Structure 1
Amino acid sequence: MKLLAAGHSHLSALIRAHYALLHRDELPDEVEAYFMRLNTKANEPNFSSGPREITPNLKKRITFVLKREAPDEVVLATMGNEYNSIALLQHPEPFDFETPFGPEARLLGADPIPYSAIRRFVEDRARINVGLFINTFAEVYGGPIKVLPPPPPNPSEAHIRNNPGSFAERVKEHGVSPAPLRLKIWRLYVDILRQLAEDAGPRRVEVADLPAEIFDDNGFLAERYWHRDPTHGNATYGHEVYRHLMARHGIELPDPRIHEVAED
């Protein structure tokens, strides 16, 4: 099983998991993986300065790497923070919306906005970011593509304030959005990913399900998978996701509860 995984910052958790398994000699012989970081000097800029599209140079590199590696499957962990750019920070005028994803609490005192409006807004952002990568890989690779969603939101405002990462100044200025609203927008974003995948290659491009273990009882990212920032999963999270991806092909990786994966 040869995997090519391409992406941005959310790819890091998978990379750390892969090399930790290699270091401990726990990666099965039948697993081979190549990781293509898109936010490196060789691949940037990703987008053209005119009409929003993947640069010709990056398209050539993607085509070259796919031809050279000839993977059995591609996993895309591209972008993924579009929903956090919308959901993480407290809006000056608190809002909420109803979704078709099941019973969800409404925020007291928040202005209701139509579901169609928030979906259109998030979808527009996704199409010109992650959507462009999905389409580019689908155009140049004829095999199966799994689109990996970003981790579900971290429920702890205290953790986010103590580990704000690149959101530090904005968290200090605006505060953190209520966790239930962030979860709604994450679920909406994942549903939009499914639509983008279907549009790019019906039945060939699919959104990968995340393993049940990474969720807490309320659908948020479980604490043992929190990273030292507000938006990413840690290396143990990457191990759990990697294990889940391989299990679909009948390949068993060690349980991450046996060894916690080092962060660095």
Structure 2
Amino acid sequence: MNNKIWMVGNSQLHLSVITEFCSEDDFSRLYQDWKSLRISEGKFFKDGNEINYLFCNMGLLGQISFDGENVSHTQNMSIFLNKIDRDASHIVIMLRGNEFAFESLVETPVPWDFSYNNSPAIKGRQLLKIKDVSAHLAKATNATLATCLLYKINFPKAKIWYVTPPPPLESENHILSNPEGFKDLFEKFGVRPFSVRKKIYQVMYDSLSSSLDNFGIKTLRAPLKSFTDTGGLREDFASGCLHGNHLYGRAIFELMEKEDFYAPL
């Protein structure tokens, strides 16, 4: 049986994978649909495989949550979900992801920190317990967990992978030069130190990956080639201050191939 491969996503998909593998016309069409809150779909070919994609502005899909038993979501999410072939064999999820930016980029009025993976807290910052940080970040990623579970429930025979957003940029200068929607907040509060952002990223996606694994959903972590020696996102792999670019999109597919993504179910 031939694979029926789908990628679903928002800006993370658009600025990395679509930029790398689709035409400029496709990129522009998706941007216009994003601004107009319309769903876009299309396809491209990679190494002989047809890759279908579904794209939209996350604002169109509304709120989604998982309470430990049930997934609650909007009618628009159902419409988006049902545009995929019912016999899809592979589904790659690049939806959401901005929760990391919202939780980490901007410095807090009372600067805080925590210890994780042998990385100590910065002296002088309010020290938080790792269990409290983990609980807070689990709430922040609940919508992503719910989204992935919704695909698992509706496509139980498909191989489902979740792609994490890129790691934090190390360079504060790069962030301030490419602030996207955070310019006013950066001017008021500043950028959180890289070491804190890095730990937030690790806790957030270590925990989410573990939760997804419990439901049979594989997590594709950021490609190692996109990391600096100190664990940040390389500037040449970045688009703005929180997305990956075309090189990042290419690296995602290299990693998918290495992880035997195309293998039959």
TM-score where L is the length of structure 1: 0.81
Q: Does the 8 Å CA contact 2:238/2:245 hold for their aligned counterparts?
A: yes
Does residue 122 of the first structure (1) align with residue 137 of the second (2)?
yes
Selected match of 1:87 from 87, 97, 104: 104
Q: Does the 8 Å CA contact 1:134/1:196 hold for their aligned counterparts?
A: no
What's the offset of the Cα at 1:3?
A: 2.2
**Structure 2 match to 1:66:** 85
Q: Does the 8 Å CA contact 2:112/2:126 hold for their aligned counterparts?
A: yes
**Which runs of no fewer than 5 residues in structure 1 stay unpaired?**
252-264
Cα RMSD (Å): 2.5
**Structure 2 match to 1:166:** 181
Selected match of 1:176 from 175, 180, 191: 191
Q: Does the 8 Å CA contact 2:6/2:84 hold for their aligned counterparts?
A: no
Separation of aligned partners in 2, 1:235 and 1:18: 8
What's the offset of the Cα at 1:66?
A: 3.2
Question: Cα gap change, 1:29/1:183 in structure 2, threshold over 3 Å: closer, same or farther?
Answer: closer
SS of aligned partner of 1:90: coil
**Structure 1 match to 2:95:** 78
**Which runs of no fewer than 5 residues in structure 2 stay unpaired?**
27-43
Q: Deviations over 1:178-233 (max 9, x none)?
A: 0000000001111122133134x23xx11113321011111111122121x21111
Selected match of 1:220 from 220, 232, 239: 232
**Structure 1 match to 2:249:** 238
Separation of aligned partners in 1, 2:121 and 2:47: 50
Runs ≥4 residues deviating over 4 A? 26-29
What's the offset of the Cα at 1:88?
A: 0.6
Separation of aligned partners in 1, 2:46 and 2:190: 45
Q: Does the 8 Å CA contact 1:153/1:179 hold for their aligned counterparts?
A: yes
The worse-fitting range, judged by mean Cα deviation, of 2-11 and 147-156 is 2-11
What's the offset of the Cα at 1:150?
A: 0.5
Say which structure is richer in strand: 2
What is the identity, as a one-letter code, of the residue corresponding to 2:17? Answer: L
TM-score where L is the length of structure 2: 0.81
Selected match of 2:155 from 141, 145, 149: 141
SS of aligned partner of 1:220: coil
Does residue 154 of the first structure (1) align with residue 169 of the second (2)?
yes
Separation of aligned partners in 2, 1:154 and 1:61: 31
Question: Cα gap change, 1:196/1:46 in structure 2, threshold over 3 Å: closer, same or farther?
Answer: farther
What's the offset of the Cα at 1:157?
A: 0.7
Separation of aligned partners in 1, 2:18 and 2:259: 19
The count of corresponding residues between Structure 1 and Structure 2 is 235
What is the identity, as a one-letter code, of the residue corresponding to 2:195? Answer: P
What is the identity, as a one-letter code, of the residue corresponding to 2:90? Answer: E
Q: Does the 8 Å CA contact 1:66/1:141 hold for their aligned counterparts?
A: no
**Structure 1 match to 2:9:** 7
